[in-house]
Amino acid sequence: MSGPYLAGVDVGTTGLKAALFDLQGRVVAEASKPYPVAQPRMNWAEQDAEQWWNAFKEASRQLTARVPASAIASIAVDSQCPSLVPVTEDGRPLRNAMLWFDRRSVPEADWIKTAIGEEKVAAIAYNRVAAGAFSATSMLWMRKHEPRLFEATRWFLHANGFIGLRLTGRATMDWANASFTLLFHVARREWSPELCDLMSIPFEKLPEAVAPWAPIGEVTAQAAEETGLRRGMPVVAGAADSAAAALGVGAVNLGDAMDSSGASTVLGVCADRPVCSLRFQVRAHALPDRWLFMGASSATGASLRWFRDSFYRHETHSAEELQLSAYQIMDLEAEGSPPGARGLVFLPYLAGERAPIWDPEARGLLYGLTLSHTRADVIRAILEGGAYALRHNMEFMEALGLSIRALRLTGGHAKSRLWRQIKADVTGRRVIVTAVKEAAALGSAMLAAVGIGLFKSPEEAVEHMVHVEQETKPNPELQRTYTPLFGLYKRLYMPELSRPAAE
């Protein structure tokens, strides 16, 4: 193995994944390490940042056991967003990190809305105010409830910035992560002194904002000793996991869309300008002059998992004996139900809903059930409900002037041939699956390559490292079948919020 190889690391919510890639985007080595989420109180979600570093060290040593450290040219790290950790000058965490689904700062979010105004914040940050989903609300919670800790904080970092500080001694936050703070001017890609002043958050506690492909330093002697990485190896900033994944599936041109699906579905559409909308979250992309419009559906995959756990327990054991997953068995059964699930329509709001309706009190619904319906119909309705949620977000985005050409899938849904076809038929778009399934890690590796000049730009990295494995084309006849059912899907929730005209 001669290299050069690029290391991409994804600091996720439940574990860290790391991989080495060659310049053609092929996986050379992989490593992963799980870690827990602490929930000491209701609506709290925390992690010890040292767990991230320990997982990183272990994964790095697994990689260098496979490939000599001298063959690794550079590294970049992406992360769950936001995951806020306050640190000292030497990088020591002052408390557990507050994660993206921590909701303790709802009062602080309400204060921003009333004292400053959500529209005023959105005019600069291009995003709605939401507790936990943006780390400024967590900073305000610390200022109120842990004032001494707040004062002792040298920098507020997100997870990949914390790893970067440990590797290089330099505190930074990439533009994509900074978009998750409500303190960042998303259009100008710089910190907003105005928002910092309005929220009374000291500007100097924010790290340097940098481009995702920017080199931020080199692996120090101490970091090399702890991780097994080469001393002096360049470290590149990296990005938010969503931006890295969009890069990793090749969603870099106008109208390209990433569908990242697991428990939830995150639609990210590539645009050449930010547009302020309280329906969606707007992020800086991991490449120049591009932004991502993000629409997240809360429980599309989680709804299918709920059905599996509640009504498929026996089949789960049978599937293991056949060396299949329960989801594969469910797909086979659902194929026995015709498109449209014989009139069943499912709203996947089992955990409330985010974009485009933003209603935490929304609830799931299975509409049209009769004595003639079967379990196969219900499974298919759940799959179709996830596709309707995707189309609902697409419809609102297109009303803002975005044009969506194709869906590039990553995550668990990409494994299901049936769900891919349903998404293509419901949305009328081609559904593309790329060769590397860990798209975020690949996106980070591509940034690592750009940062040291192996490619001139992220777009050039995509040309060399992203490869289409499968493409599913929509059936126009089935789209005509699904369109009236999609209309019913929208009306079942709340008619006045179902149309883009409500924007």
Q: Is the pLDDT of residue 110 over 50?
A: yes
For the chain, the distance separating the N- and C-terminal CA atoms, rounded to the nearest angstrom, is 54
Q: Over the stretch 178-213, which tens digit does the pLDDT of each residue have?
A: 999 999 999 999 999 999 999 999 999 999 999 999
Q: Tell me what pLDDT residue 413 has.
A: 83
Contact present, 52 and 36 (Cβ < 8 Å): no
Q: Tell me what pLDDT residue 162 has.
A: 98
Q: Mean pLDDT throughout 287-295?
A: 95
Residue given tokens 């949620």 in the structure block:
389
Residue given tokens 């890639």 in the structure block:
21
Task: Describe the strand order of the beta sheet including 234-236 as a list of residue ranges.
Answer: 27-34, 15-21, 5-11, 72-79, 234-236, 215-218
Q: Is the peptide bond before 234 cis (omega within 30 degrees of 0)?
A: no
Q: Tell me what pLDDT residue 497 has.
A: 54
Strand partners, 25: none
Contact present, 355 and 362 (Cβ < 8 Å): no
Q: How many CA atoms lie within 13 A of 101 on its CB side?
A: 15
Q: Tell me what pLDDT residue 502 has.
A: 45
Q: Is the pLDDT of residue 88 over 90?
A: yes
Q: Tell me what pLDDT residue 503 has.
A: 47
Q: Of 27, 156, 5, which Cα lies nearest the Cα of 88?
A: 156
Residue given tokens 């006849």 in the structure block:
477
Strands 265-271 and 345-347: unpaired
Q: Over the stretch 457-476, which tens digit does the pLDDT of each residue have?
A: 999 999 999 999 999 999 99
Phi, psi of 419 (to 5 degrees): -65, -35
Q: Tell me what pLDDT residue 322 has.
A: 75
132 vs 156 pLDDT, higher one: 156
Contact present, 366 and 344 (Cβ < 8 Å): yes
136 is written with which tokens? 């400024």
Of the candidate ranges 33-42, 197-206, 438-447, 494-503, the one whose mean pLDDT is the lowest: 494-503
Q: Over the stretch 156-176, which tens digit does the pLDDT of each residue have?
A: 999 999 999 999 999 999 999
Give the chain's domains with CATH numbers. Answer: 5-239 (3.30.420.40), 300-397+477-502 (3.30.420.40)
Rounded-to-integer distance, Cα 156 and Cα 483, Å: 47
Rounded-to-integer distance, Cα 333 and Cα 2, Å: 47
Under 8 Å CB-to-CB from 284, ≥6 apart: which residues?
175, 176, 178, 179, 186, 189, 243, 291, 292
Contact present, 448 and 233 (Cβ < 8 Å): no
Q: Over the stretch 53-71, which tens digit does the pLDDT of each residue have?
A: 999 999 999 999 999 999 9
Q: Is the pLDDT of residue 227 over 70?
A: yes
Q: Over the stretch 254-276, which tens digit does the pLDDT of each residue have?
A: 999 999 988 889 999 999 999 88
